[in-house]
Chain A
Amino acid sequence: MPPTADSSSSLFEGSSSAYSVKLDTFEGPLDLLLHLIRKNELDIYDIPIALITKQYLEYLSFLKELNLEVAGDFLVMASTLLQIKSRMLLPNPEPEEGEGEQEEDPRAELVRRLLDYQRYKEAGQHLGERELLGREVFARRITDPDLLPVASEEGQLELDLFELAEAFRSLLARVPTARVHEVIGFESVSIADAINEILSLLQEREMLAFDELFSLDDSRERLIVNFLALLELCRLKMSKVLQNSDCGIIYIYPAVAIETADGVRGGDTLS
């Protein structure tokens, strides 16, 4: 249906009044476009691109009036809309001989994206409506670490890079940054040295706690070298990094001692 001029002017209620601005928040340009389509009761498969572009740009300038920063993503979509609009103005080129395929509607990709977006937005809403642990349903949570049930060897979790980096970050945060004086001419340790050191430690003992590897008395440089050495060992599949439970102690094991039968998780870490 052809939208009336009225529907576009009343689109943003309260835009004239400085005090009663009622502004829907949009998750992004696709969300805004869906809103405009719904508001104008348009057929998503046949979007009047000129009208939508006009209203879309109106909304952006409205945001500017409110001195709200217009995110770059909204501007990208604006240029996409303008591009589609101009392509729609061009005459459809004659289909070339042999290639019977008609040129795709310039709006097709946008329509696909809108439909996809709508689908996932809905799926997200459904997720939010589920009976969430800690919100609608509850289970036992033991907070005293001494009372925690023992974790099985297989129950140990492999860490991904993110968790390992997080552990290292919190470690670095504990290291005092400012040293009053630097010891001049201290010997710097190469990553290769650090690797050998870790390997010999692992040979002596079957496992190493993450914190053991990093003494807080070490210099930041030394800590970083150790961490890089650990990453290198994981990359070479010479050691494994496992965690007892969520947020438990992180242990480093020699890789040979660990069965690699658990192929699902095995490939995930630090590869």
Chain B
Amino acid sequence: MATPSLNAIIEAMLFVADSPMTVDRLSELLPEYERAAIRIALQELRDDYQARHAGIHLVEVAGGWQLRTWPELMPYLSRLVKGKPPRFSPSALETLAIVAYRQPITRQEVEYLRGVDTGAVLKSLLEKRLIRILGKKDIPGRPIIYGTTREFLEIFNLNDLKGLPTLREMQALDEVPVFEVQEELPLKTDNP
């Protein structure tokens, strides 16, 4: 290799990096290249992997770019990878969904939506770094407000919160027809 191509440089960096690389970070590391060129290189790399049907692909996740394996290869990789895969209880997922869609949100608001005490679930989500404390709400009592973290995006394979599926209006619980089709909720709901 006489002069390495930008694609090769970026590919190597993505290979060595252990978390998603943002375009910001790449252009900081590669001041001799234009930002636009870096963007193009990333897209070319992504298409390369795609065209080759490679075992890994380049995905945009948590606002950055990361090499990840194809989901179809999971059965083989689970032979290789030690450790338990992440597991989430229904209550953890429910709570996480509420925080993700309604952030910033207080514990009281989560509990109203779920109808149950959620202190322990929130604590364990905090410990798993899937949610974080954003601050305090400016209302009497100054309750803590929560939001999701970058780790949440990384683990749940999301590029940003806009990548969350739109909340569906509830379907008929069984075959009971719904009275009227309401508009889909926008992602960012009524944040106070």
Shortest Cβ gap from A137 to chain B (Å) = 5
> Is B32 in contact with chain A by the CB < 8 A criterion?
no
CB pair A271–B135 under 8 Å, yes or no, is yes
Say whether B141 faces chain A, with CB atoms less than 8 Å apart: no
Pairwise interchain contact A118-B155, C-beta atoms closer than 8 A: no
Evaluate contact between A44 and B94: CB separation under 8 angstroms.
Answer: no
Confirm or deny: B168 has a beta carbon within 8 angstroms of a beta carbon on chain A: yes
Neighbouring B residues of A267 by C-beta, 8 Å: 135
Decide if A124 is an interface residue (CB 8 Å cutoff).
yes
Write out, one digit per residue, whether chain A residues 147-178 have a CB within 8 A of any chain B CB (1) or not (0): 01100101100001110000000000000000
| Residues of B with C-beta under 8 A to A38 | 173-174
Which chain A residues numbered 232 to 249 have a C-beta less than 8 Å away from chain B?
A: 246
Known interface pairs A123-B165, A162-B126; A128-B115 also in contact (CB < 8 Å): no
Are A268 and B90 closer than 8 Å at their CB atoms? no
Output the least CB separation between A43 and chain B (Å): 5
Indicate if the CB atoms of B115 and A131 lie closer than 8 Å.
no
For chain B residues 59-117, which have a beta carbon within 8 Å of chain A?
66-71, 74, 77, 81, 83, 85-86, 88, 90-91, 93-98, 100-101, 112-117
Partner of B113, one of A117, A130, A271: A117
B174 touches A41 (CB 8 A): yes
Asked whether any CB of chain A lies closer than 8 Å to the CB of B50, the reply is: no
Please tell me which one of the listed residues A126, A141, A268 contacts residue B18 in the complex, with CB atoms under 8 A apart: A141
Q: B67 contacts A140, CB within 8 Å? A: yes
Bound form: Cα–Cα A199–B126 in Å: 31
Contacting pair A124 B135 (CB below 8 A) = no
Q: Nearest chain-B residue to A136 (Cβ)?
A: B71
CB proximity of A129 to chain B, nearest CB, Å = 10
Question: A27 within 8 Å of B by Cβ?
Answer: yes
Residues of A within 8 A of B85 (CB): 132, 134-135
- Please name all residues of chain B whose beta carbon is closer than 8 Å to the beta carbon of A149 when the two chains form the complex: 16-18
Is B86 touching A135 in the complex (CB atoms < 8 A)? yes
Taking the nearest CB of chain B, how far is it from the CB of A262, in angstroms?
Answer: 11
- Asked if B18 and A27 make an inter-chain contact with CB atoms under 8 angstroms apart, the answer reads no
Expressed in whole angstroms, the Cα–Cα distance for A41 and B116 within the complex equals: 25
In the assembled complex, the Cα of A271 lies from the Cα of B138 at a distance in Å of 12
Q: Is the interface of B mostly helix, strand, loop or mixed?
A: mixed
Contact A120 B126 (CB under 8 A): no
Known contacts being A41-B176, A115-B170, is A130 close to B156, with CB within 8 Å?
yes
Stretch from A4-12, A28-36, A185-193, A212-220 contacting the other chain:
A28-36
Q: Assess whether B115 is in contact with A29, with CB atoms less than 8 Å apart.
A: yes
A87 near B: Cβ within 8 Å? Answer: no
Q: Tell me how far the C-beta of B130 lies from the nearest C-beta in chain A, rounded to whole angstroms.
A: 10
A71 touches which of B67, B94, B116 (Cβ 8 Å): B116
| Residue contact A113 to B170, C-beta cutoff 8 Å | no
Residues of A within 8 A of B156 (CB): 127, 130, 132-133
User: CB of B9 within 8 A of chain A?
Assistant: no
Structural contact, B126 and A28, CB atoms closer than 8 A: no
Residues of B within 8 A of A34 (CB): 173
CA distance A45 to B177 in the complex (A): 10
Q: A118-B170, A128-B93, A267-B135 are in contact. List 15 more A-B contacts (CB 8 A).
A: A27-B90, A29-B116, A77-B115, A117-B115, A120-B113, A121-B97, A124-B94, A130-B156, A138-B69, A139-B68, A140-B16, A149-B16, A152-B28, A152-B29, A154-B25
Query: Could you list 26 A-B pairs, sorted by A, with CB under 8 Å?
Result: A27-B116, A28-B115, A37-B173, A73-B116, A118-B173, A120-B97, A122-B168, A123-B165, A125-B93, A131-B157, A133-B156, A134-B83, A135-B86, A137-B69, A138-B77, A139-B68, A139-B69, A140-B16, A148-B18, A154-B28, A155-B25, A160-B132, A161-B133, A162-B126, A246-B129, A268-B134
